[in-house]
Amino acid sequence: MRRVFVSIIVTLIIANCLYCYAATGKGLEFSIIFDKEEYTTKDQIKIDFKLENKGKKDVVVNTRFFLNGKESPREKGEVYLEVISPSGKELPLKHTRETGLPRTDDFVVLKPGEERSTKRPFNITYFYDFKTPGTYKITAVYQNVFGDEIGLKEAFKERLKSKEVIIKITE
């Protein structure tokens, strides 16, 4: 019981501090980073996500970067990918994942010039079929919908789309 009480108090203190730093979120940039430009059909394809504050005000962001499908409800993750295959068609998602609410420490205040990246890269071969050799065009979309449930009404909730990144798959 004491642990629960302490946890609630800590959550309220953090939420209150983050609320003080909340801003409109203008100037945020979302990007994707791959570990290399060319892969074989047997390689794992690892991707990192990064939010960078290029604006002039502090912004409260959710840095959990939970990856799920474009078709998944926005409450099921903050990031989805658009993967265009060599044929020009968008690849369907192979697997979705279940998630709960983000933790309080997933929310951070990004000061101007600061950035946050994923804690560890995602292997997107779990989600998409990269078995056809050729060029793939990949963009990511970030949209946080959380924050209100822990008192962070000013958390950034706009949609951000990364620049397109091209990777090559060989035999």
- The answer to whether 82 touches 71, Cβ cutoff 8 Å, is no
Q: Which of 89, 74, 91, 92 is nearest to 142 (CA)?
A: 74
Number of domains in the chain: 1
What radius of gyration do the chain's Cα atoms show? 18
What are the pLDDT tens digits along the chain (171 aa)?
Answer: 444 343 433 343 344 433 333 333 469 999 999 999 999 999 999 999 999 999 999 999 999 999 998 888 888 899 999 999 999 999 999 988 888 899 999 999 999 999 999 999 999 999 999 999 999 999 999 999 999 988 999 999 999 999 999 999 999
Q: Which residues neighbour 80 within 8 Å (Cβ) at sequence distance 6 or greater?
A: 67, 68, 69, 70, 72, 140, 141
Segment holding 6, helix H or strand E: helix 2-21
- Print the domain residue range for 32: 2-170
Assign residue 134 the CATH number of its domain: 2.60.40.2970
Integer Cα distance of 32 and 22 in angstroms: 24
Which amino acid belongs to residue 136?
Y
